[in-house]
Amino acid sequence: MDAEALQQLLDEAGFGGPPPYLVEDAGDWGVRLRLPVTPAHQRPGGTVSGPSLMALADAAAWLAVLAQIGPVLLAVSTSLHIDFLRKPALVDVIAEGNLIKLGRRLGVIDVSMRSEGEEALVAKAQVTYSIPPAGPRA
């Protein structure tokens, strides 16, 4: 699936409201996703909250897998490890989900997150996704 198809999937998937992410790029390498930061993502101390970054990492991993296997909505995360490396500014956060391994039943994705305009990582995650043998298609 390309970036446009992934964005359409997010828009139509029915996650209880409009998706907070913008799919910027997708390919056989993975996906680049943007979190437009709003006051809802802020935590005390003037930074983006940890739960917002964890959700972004999970979404980037999910979409990196779907970019390769198609709209298998029941692909689910089985493991997510995240390291918070530095305080992100209250600007958009860009996540790049790179496929490390994609098998028939599991996908392992490395997710790097940066504040817009910065080179230094604010967080790094490794996510494992379980792929159902024959999941429902969108």
Query: pLDDT of 14-56, one tens digit each?
Result: 676 677 899 999 999 999 999 999 988 999 888 999 999 999 9
Note whether residue 136 is domain-resident.
no
Q: Dmax over Cα atoms in the chain, in whole Å? A: 45
Token pair 């198609």 in the structure block, residue:
70
Q: Which residue has the higher pLDDT, 75 or 83?
A: 83
Q: Which amino acid is at 20?
A: P
User: What integer best gives the mean pLDDT of the chain?
Assistant: 92
The CA distance from 76 to 125, in Å, is 16
Mean pLDDT on 80-104: 96
Instruction: Give the residue among 52, 72, 65, 73 at the shortest CA–CA distance from 110.
Output: 65
Three-state secondary structure string covering the chain: CCHHHHHHHHHHCCCCCCCCCEEEEEECCEEEEEECCCHHHEECCCEECHHHHHHHHHHHHHHHHHHHHCCECCCEEEEEEEEECCCCCCCCEEEEEEEEEECCCEEEEEEEEEECCCCCEEEEEEEEEECCCCCCEC
Note whether residue 86 is domain-resident.
yes
Range of the structural domain that residue 24 is part of? 3-130
Domain count, the chain: 1
Note whether residue 39 is domain-resident.
yes
Instruction: Give the residue among 108, 120, 127, 122 at the shortest CA–CA distance from 50.
Output: 122
Note whether residue 138 is domain-resident.
no
Note whether residue 65 is domain-resident.
yes
Note whether residue 98 is domain-resident.
yes
Q: What is the CATH number of the domain that holds 26?
A: 3.10.129.10
Alpha carbon 55 to chain centroid distance? Answer: 7
Q: With bands split at pLDDT 50, 70 and 90, how would you rate the model's confidence at 86?
A: very high
Share of the chain above pLDDT 70, in %: 93
Note whether residue 137 is domain-resident.
no
Note whether residue 135 is domain-resident.
no
